[in-house]
Chain A
Amino acid sequence: MTIGLTLENKKRMSISNEIVDFSDPSKVYIPLINNNVLCKSLVKKGKKVKKGTIIGIRQDIDFPILSSVSGIVLDEDSCLYLNNKMVPCIVIKNDKKDSVVKKEIKKDISDYTKDEYIEVLKDCAVTGMGGSDFPAFIKYKGDLDILIVNAVECEPYLTSDLMLTKLKAEIILDTIEAIMKINNISKCFIAYKEDNKTIYYSLLRLIKNYDNIFITPVKNIYPIGWERYLVSNILKLEYNKYPNEIGVVVNNISTIFAIYKALKFKRSITKRIITISGEGFSNPINVLVKVGTKMDYVLNKLGDYTYNDNLNIIAGGPMMGVALKDDSVVATNNLNGLIVLPKEDDTIVDCIKCGKCIKVCPSNILPVFIMNTLDNKSKLKKFNPELCCECGLCSYVCPSKINVREYVKHAIKEVK
């Protein structure tokens, strides 16, 4: 069954042959947050750090936050994170020497036991780079049989995964093979959207060298990149909370590249590709930035805003992303794009009960009924609002332009 909608993908705007390199900032701001949990700082003002020095820690799972440059800790401050909130951060002055914390390096990236592998993923702070910032090592616990590499990038405008695949196809495939060997995984599916031929061709010329890795087209619908939906679409399997219950692990293709860095150099990812795009920006393109760079500098260097004041600058894709109050957002592992869009002034009218939000909902819940029973808690529970994946299709499709998702989000809070 295909629930969801085909959206105009607008990816062509930012696809080009070059990636503009901004990976040498003078200062970086590293937010002390992981997967929406605040972390504790471990460094003091004036301390010298190297690339890879642990500067913070998430205490509940003992997960490190690493420095992305070498230099001196200037201050503890707060910065704008991609969820549009100010988050405490550590400011480091970049000495541009790129000195690295020395670690023992293995020659062969597949020469790890499973326990070592999980340890490495944790030490190198590998997190989900598709937007979740979820620590990747948790996903690999337990017996695994199938790896799904998510190269779907189903939000419109975003092309950072696509560019990475185009540039690093061979490394990615090698890493997948290593992951499969280490975790005893029998099959890997690289899922891409069927109309995204760039990913297909960049993998196709190499794929014959790898057994048991398959490039799998998925339908051009949003939100097929949602983990649960992707698993049910490719494997026709359902799971309760995490896919490793059924022996499946799903990783974003950028995360695979981060795993490569971890296995090869025992280093965390310090740079990432970010898509700058949207009708409100004069020069849509992909940029390579250091983790911790303030993006206003990058945006100013690249181009101008085209509709002066009436703009939304969105961290992430236009469907699930968050509009920022300021363009000085900090580039993090999970920031895959900044989309600048002119604001649409839709007049909201009353619900006409057309039922379109029910038809598109990939979580198979009943948004309009949830919206209408917000004041009745016991009744609300029956509609299971907590199953919502916040894809935003209900708001997208509503002819009365009601922000249905906000009501459902509110309902989730009510139920909890």
Chain B
Amino acid sequence: MEFETNVGPYIKSDNSTQKMMIRLLISLSIIVCFVVFKNIIMGYYYSTESFVSLLNPIYMILTGVVVSYLSEYLYNAIILKTGFKRAFTNTNKSYPTITGLLLSLLLPVNTPIWIVALGAFVANVFGKMIFGGFGKNIFNPALIGYMFVALLFSSKLGGYLNAYELDAVGGVTPLANLVNNGYISSYNVLVGSYGSLFNFFVGTIPGSMGTVSKLLILIAYIYLTITKTIKWRISVAYILTAFLLTLAIGINYNLGIWYPLFNILSGGLLFGAVFNSTDPVTSPITSNGQIFYGIALGVMTILLRFLTPYTDGVVISILFMNVFVFFFDKIGIKLHDNIKKKYIPILISVIILVLSYFLIINNIKEDRKTTFDILNKINSEILTYKI
């Protein structure tokens, strides 16, 4: 009896890209549940708004997912001219829904739907399809979409507060509050205005829709690590570096352990570290490369937070480091051949960490000096006015 042959091995693992993406969807759906709970159910309970008017988060998520899918489908069908049937199978193979979901979760609660739609379109077309589609993109597509709308429509993004959140600090997020206070302040000012660190951990503070609940992000992280879906080393290196740097800054100003924890738990750091920086396509392949990639992300994020007007820094850091993934892989390959040379990148990382520390400390000093000067000036003006 004759057979058609194909190449082996003839047994394959039951893992597949599709299963990995489904696991990612499962972990993201936990966060979607939280978004619904916090903004809609609790919103209905605590505020006087009608139920229908609270549904914006759901519209946002649906828009993100549907527009992502459609834009990729149409790109396939019209620009790549694959025909409508092929376009359908091609689109299903490249998982645009995850991009849309990630994008909508990064945006504030009150973002208008057309901005989400625009972001999702840009994310999939200019973040992914232009490069040749799934697996070939250099930048994380969701972050490209986010960056686009955040830069061009920052004023239209919509507030961070949901229906019942109290306007404790002028409608700003904890990190904006940190900047407004010259980076260094007391627990009561930085954390106390929003409740306690527990609120930060659970997610009952104002912020981007999906990024606030650190607890659920951690659960998702553990799930994704156990199921070997994401490159867990990047997240650990990223968060640990950010923690160490802010810990050192905190110690310098006699602030407690709450200060680094506040820095880790605010903004999109955890979300970015778990979901965006570990995107398999746009991160280093080698495990050593992943570690140093994570360290670089941590340093850059904290530098952006403390040295520039950007309050969060996560999105820009990841997009910036995406360009250098090849470099981190080069390090990884070098170390793969000769693990004894590990001390070189470690030494460089330590030097960079120390340098950034001094840079930040120096900047904060100047910053504080100028605020102090302004305060003095105002004081003296008030005094003179009184007189």
- Residues of chain A touching chain B, judged by Cβ–Cβ distance below 8 Å, are 5, 7, 84, 156, 296, 305, 311-314, 318-327, 339, 341, 343-344, 346-347, 349-356, 358-359, 364, 366, 368-369, 392, 395-401, 403, 405-406
Contacts and interface: CB of A to CB of B under 8 A. Distances in A.
A325 B3 contact: yes
A355 B285 contact: yes
Contact of B9 (A350, A359, A369, A392): A392
B202 interface: no
Nearest to A372: B285
Interface of B is mostly: loop
Contacts of A400: 16-17, 135
B1 A352 contact: no
Contacts of B93: 347, 349
A350 B278 CA distance: 18
Nearest to B329: A369
A250 B192 CA distance: 70
B13 A327 contact: no
B17 A311 contact: no
Contacts of A312: 3, 5-6, 10
Contact of A351 (B9, B135, B329): B135
Interface string B1-37: 1111111111111011101100000000000000000
Contacts of A318: 8-11
A406 B9 CA distance: 10
A368 B285 contact: yes
A327 B8 contact: no
Contacts of B12: 344, 346, 395-396, 398, 401
Given A323-B10, A397-B13, A350 B3 contact: no
B134 interface: yes
Given A84-B5, A366-B336, A350 B13 contact: no
B285 to A, nearest CB: 4
B3 A349 contact: no
Nearest to A392: B9
A85 to B, nearest CB: 11
A354 B286 CA distance: 9
B136 interface: yes
B3 to A, nearest CB: 6
B133 interface: yes
Contacts of B13: 5, 396-399
Given A327-B1, A350-B136, A403-B7, A366 B333 contact: yes
Contacts of B4: 325
Contact of B16 (A156, A311, A351, A399): A399
Nearest to B290: A355
B286 A355 contact: yes
B280 interface: yes
B281 A341 contact: no
A35 B16 CA distance: 36
A405 B9 contact: yes
B196 interface: no
B135 A327 contact: no
A355 B283 CA distance: 10
Interface in B127-162: 133-136
A367 to B, nearest CB: 10
Nearest to A5: B13
B305 interface: no
Interface centre among B5, B8, B12 (most CB of A within 10 A): B8
A355 B15 contact: no
B5 A320 contact: no
B230 to A, nearest CB: 9
B309 to A, nearest CB: 34
B236 to A, nearest CB: 16
A326 B1 contact: yes
A385 to B, nearest CB: 14
B204 interface: no
A389 to B, nearest CB: 13
A395 B135 contact: no
B231 interface: yes
B3 A326 contact: yes
Contact of B8 (A5, A326, A392): A392
B8 A322 contact: yes
A396 B10 CA distance: 8
Given A352-B17, A366-B333, A401-B16, 9 more contacts: A312-B3, A321-B8, A325-B3, A349-B135, A352-B281, A353-B285, A355-B231, A396-B9, A401-B12
Contacts of A353: 135, 280-281, 283, 285
Contacts of A366: 286, 333, 336
| Complex A-B, nearest 7 residue pairs according to Cβ-Cβ distance, in ascending order | A350-B135, A392-B9, A323-B5, A355-B285, A318-B10, A319-B9, A352-B280
Nearest to A156: B11
B199 interface: no
A399 B229 CA distance: 10
A400 B133 CA distance: 15
Contacts of A352: 17, 20, 134-135, 280-281
B287 interface: yes
30 contacts: A7-B11, A84-B5, A156-B11, A305-B1, A314-B10, A318-B8, A318-B10, A319-B8, A319-B11, A321-B8, A323-B3, A323-B10, A324-B3, A325-B3, A325-B5, A326-B3, A341-B11, A351-B135, A354-B20, A354-B280, A355-B280, A358-B286, A369-B329, A392-B8, A392-B9, A395-B9, A395-B12, A399-B16, A400-B135, A401-B12
A344 to B, nearest CB: 6
B131 to A, nearest CB: 11
Contacts of B19: 399
Nearest to A312: B10
A22 to B, nearest CB: 18
A397 to B, nearest CB: 5
Contacts of B16: 346, 399-401
Contacts of B280: 352-355
